[in-house]
Amino acid sequence: MHSFDKTIQKLRQEGFKLTPQRLAVIKHMIGNSRHPSALAIHKDLKRRYPSLSFSTVYNTLNMLERIEEVQSLNVIDGHLNYDPDISTHGHFLCTKCGTIHDIRFEDCDDIKLPQGEIGGHTISSIQVSFKGTCRICR
Amino acid sequence: MHSFDKTIQKLRQEGFKLTPQRLAVIKHMIGNSRHPSALAIHKDLKRRYPSLSFSTVYNTLNMLERIEEVQSLNVIDGHLNYDPDISTHGHFLCTKCGTIHDIRFEDCDDIKLPQGEIGGHTISSIQVSFKGTCRICR
DNA sequence: GTACTTGCAAACAGTTTGCATAGGC
DNA sequence: GCCTATGCAAACTGTTTGCAAGTAC
């Protein structure tokens, strides 16, 4: 998710209406590196938008995923987490504090991943998730 | 999941009873590289064990995961798939045919992953999942 | 015989859907 | 004013749980 203006522009281009609820979700996600779940997003926004419903949050997130402004993560069993950074990068789930840390591949020279194809299969996306105890918890 | 005898031995060691249902699930998983879901396992075993319940399948899989005889995979949104191969390896989900292919890191020299720690975080497990079109489908 | 396990049904969590109303354009 | 988006509730999916009856040991 680049910036507010660019995202708004994209919504307009695709013919989506700019409702207060959508703008609130977008604002909440831009630059958000906490990888919130739909539940967490709803809980946070509910304060300012008491009538905001779950379906609107889900609809908006699904729309943002469709137009590639967020990606959904399968890091935790049983629900999805959302990341406004759609670049290919990894995630570290701390099983102690529950935090999801970003792992930027460029910063680690002990990580290398294929691009385009692997074993004859054509790759369209990659998800790398680590579990363990994070830097802060140990 | 090494072999039938070794797995049985482990169950006995841990004090689990060897019920027909458990033996059926274990036999069904050994050497199974199709990464079945609990639903698929239940469906397959139901033929020979018509009274087999979902809870027994789930209980057995959770037990096998606890004693590290299977691992659960987060490759597909919304449900878990089970893999009797607990070694660290990747998975490729074909979005066309739905097949999950194993990706053995040793076989690909364009994959390198860290061991032990990453960015100061202590790693206990890694999951790598690719999505795209598999060798067979394209 | 004594636990542990089973099977059933009900509970549960996260997500999606249907529909009447509201509101962006 | 048209048509999409919202909010609510209900439906749905995958998984877990509670409990009486059954069974491995």
Residues A58 and A96 in one domain: no
The percent of residues in chain B predicted with pLDDT above 90, rounded, is 96
Write the pLDDT tens digit of every residue in A37-85.
999 999 999 999 999 999 999 999 999 999 999 999 999 999 999 999 9
* Burial zone of B97 (CB within 10 Å; 0-12 exposed, 13-18 middle, 19+ buried): exposed
Write the pLDDT tens digit of every residue in A88-108.
999 999 999 999 999 999 999
Domain containing B65 — which CATH number? 1.10.10.10
Q: Give the range of the structural domain holding residue A58, as residue numbers without chain letter.
A: 4-73
Tell whether B106 lies on the interface with A, counting CB pairs under 8 A.
Answer: no
Select the more confidently predicted residue: A29 or B138: A29
- Cβ(A96)–Cβ(B111) under 8 Å? no
Residues A69 and A90 in one domain: no
* Domain annotation covers residue A16: yes
Write the pLDDT tens digit of every residue in B98-111.
999 999 999 998 99
Tell whether A74 lies on the interface with B, counting CB pairs under 8 A.
Answer: yes
* Domain annotation covers residue B97: yes
* Domain annotation covers residue A68: yes
Tell whether B130 lies on the interface with A, counting CB pairs under 8 A.
Answer: yes
Residue B37: the pLDDT is: 98
* Domain annotation covers residue A138: no
Angle, nearest 10°, between helix axes A38-46 and A20-29? Answer: 120
How far apart CA B26 and CA B15 sit, in angstroms, is 16
- Quick one: average pLDDT of B52-72? 97
Smallest CA–CA separation between A93 and chain B, in Å?
Answer: 9
- Does residue A59 approach strand D to less than 7 Å at its CB? yes
Residues B57 and B110 in one domain: no
How far apart CA A34 and CA A44 sit, in angstroms, is 12
* Domain annotation covers residue A105: yes
* Residue in chain A nearest B131 by alpha carbon: A125
How far apart CA A101 and CA A83 sit, in angstroms, is 11
- Quick one: average pLDDT of B77-83? 96
Residue B1: the pLDDT is: 79
Smallest CA–CA separation between A109 and chain B, in Å?
Answer: 9
Residue A2: the pLDDT is: 80
Domain containing A99 — which CATH number? 3.30.1490
- Quick one: average pLDDT of A27-44? 97
The bases of strand C with some atom under 7 A from any protein CB are 4-9, 13-18, 23-25
Q: pLDDT at residue A35 above 90? A: yes
Last residue of a domain, one of B42, B73, B104: B73
Last residue of a domain, one of B73, B106, B123: B73
Considering CB atoms only, which of A94, A101, A111 is closest to B112? Answer: A111
Confidence of residue B2 (pLDDT cuts 50, 70, 90): confident
How far apart CA A83 and CA A65 sit, in angstroms, is 10
A-B CB pairs within 8 A amount to: 118
Residues B92 and B127 in one domain: yes
Residues A13 and A65 in one domain: yes
Q: How many domains does chain A have?
A: 2
Residues B69 and B29 in one domain: yes
How far apart CA B120 and CA A135 sit, in angstroms, is 5
- Cβ(B94)–Cβ(B127) under 8 Å? no
Residues A53 and A93 in one domain: no
Tell whether B118 lies on the interface with A, counting CB pairs under 8 A.
Answer: yes
Q: Cβ contacts (< 8 Å) between B133 and chain A: which residues? A: 121-122, 124
Residues A9 and A66 in one domain: yes
SS3 A132: strand
Smallest CA–CA separation between B127 and chain A, in Å?
Answer: 5
The percent of residues in chain A predicted with pLDDT above 70, rounded, is 100
DSSP run (H or E) holding A100: strand A100-103
Residue B67: the pLDDT is: 96
* Domain annotation covers residue A94: yes
Tell whether A116 lies on the interface with B, counting CB pairs under 8 A.
Answer: no
* Domain annotation covers residue A81: no
